């Protein structure tokens, strides 16, 4: 596994840049990843999605699909794409410190 430093913390990442240990995640890491992804500020709406992603990963061992995010997070698809442009499930997973959800290309 490769490592990288983000927000002053060294974390292990996979070949796609996703954290491999979700327990090392912090809000500072989330904010740093978000800035790298072109999201200047994480709002309460972002954290609804991020917290949902982390909860799903902890309960099921994988992040939710975009469909599940839309149906169960309380954030509709249009807003998901506004919050996390260019691939909400993948971007939200990266920022949430979990591996890329299964089924995301």
Catalytic one among 7, 24, 48, 104? 104
102 catalytic per annotation: no
CA gyration radius, the chain:
12
The answer for 30, left when phi > 0, alpha when psi is -120 to 50, beta otherwise, is alpha
The residues assigned a catalytic role are 104
């Amino acid at each position: 596994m490769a490592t990288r430093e983000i927000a002053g913390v060294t974390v292990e990442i996979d070949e796609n840049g996703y954290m491999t240990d979700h327990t090392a995640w912090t809000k500072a890491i989330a904010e740093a990843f978000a800035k790298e992804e072109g999201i200047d500020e994480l709002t309460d709406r972002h954290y609804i999605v991020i917290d949902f992603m982390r909860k799903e990963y902890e309960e099921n061992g994988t992040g939710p699909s975009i469909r599940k995010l839309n149906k169960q997070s309380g954030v509709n698809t249009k807003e998901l794409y506004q919050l996390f442009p260019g691939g909400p499930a993948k971007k939200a997973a990266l920022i949430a410190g979990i591996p890329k959800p299964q089924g995301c290309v």
